[in-house]
Amino acid sequence: PEIASYGTLQRLIFVYLPPSYFTNTDKHYPVVYAHDGQNLFSTPAEQGAPAWGGWYLDAKLDHWWTEGELPEFILVAIPNSDFICIGNRQLEYSAKDFRVLNEE
């Protein structure tokens, strides 16, 4: 569904679910939100991410979860705005009305 953005650019959101998500429907999972979501997964080019992506977090999570080294959680990967429109990253991470209050 489309959600009003209230001044921020609309974007794709990537959600990575743990292996037991569909079989353990009564379980409640913590949620981790990650910035620069376009870089987190094994296949950045297929997601349209630039060449610096590919942190392979999906493969690492699968390994850690399978080995019981990390509790399962839902990962919400939020791409920065440069993923949509190059040049917006600085605007996204900066204050809208930034002013110097004391120039000493």
Beta-carbon contacts of residue 61 (< 8 Å; ≥ 6 apart)? 16, 18, 70, 75
pLDDT at position 104? 59
Task: Dump pLDDT digits (tens) for 9-57.
Answer: 677 788 999 999 999 999 999 999 998 888 888 775 555 545 456 788 9
This prediction has a pTM of 0.73
Q: Which residues pair with 78 in a beta bridge?
A: 35
Residue 28: predicted pLDDT: 96
pLDDT of residue 39: 83
pLDDT of residue 8: 63
Collapse the DSSP code of 38 into the 3-class scheme (helix H, G, I; strand E, B; otherwise coil) and give the result. helix
Handedness of CA 85, 90, 93, 95 (dihedral sign): negative
Contacts of 7 (CB under 8 A, 6+ apart): 96
